[in-house]
Amino acid sequence: MQLWNTLSKEELVQKLKERGTKFVTVSFYQYAKIPNPQVFRDHLFQMWSNLGIVGRTYVAKEGINAQIGVPADKFNQFKSELYEISFLDGIRLNLAVDESEAEFPFLKLKIKVRPKILADGLQDETFDVTNKGKHLNAEEFNKLIDQPDTILIDFRNHYESEVGHFKGAITPDVDTFRESLPIIEETYLKGNEDKNIVMYCTGGIRCEKASAWYKHRGFKNVHQLEGGIIKYAREASEAGLENKFVGKNFVFDERRGERISDDIISVCHQCGAPCDTHTNCVNDGCHLLFIQCDNCKAKYDGCCSTECQTVIHLPVEEQKVLRKGKVVSNKIFKKGRSEKLLFKTNKVKPISFEKDKIALSRESEK
- Is 246 in contact with 90 (CB distance < 8 Å)? no
Which class for 20: exposed (0-12), middle (13-18), buried (19 or more C-beta within 10 A)?
exposed
Active site residues: 201
- Is 336 in contact with 298 (CB distance < 8 Å)? no
Helix (H) or strand (E) holding 359: strand 358-359
Residues 85 and 80: their CA atoms lie apart, in Å, by: 9
Q: How many CA atoms lie within 13 A of 141 on its CB side?
A: 29
Q: What's the Cα-to-Cα distance from 145 to each of 134, 136, 162, 214, 223, rounded to whole Å?
A: 14, 11, 20, 18, 10
- Is 192 in contact with 167 (CB distance < 8 Å)? no
- Is 74 in contact with 52 (CB distance < 8 Å)? yes
Helix (H) or strand (E) holding 69: strand 63-71
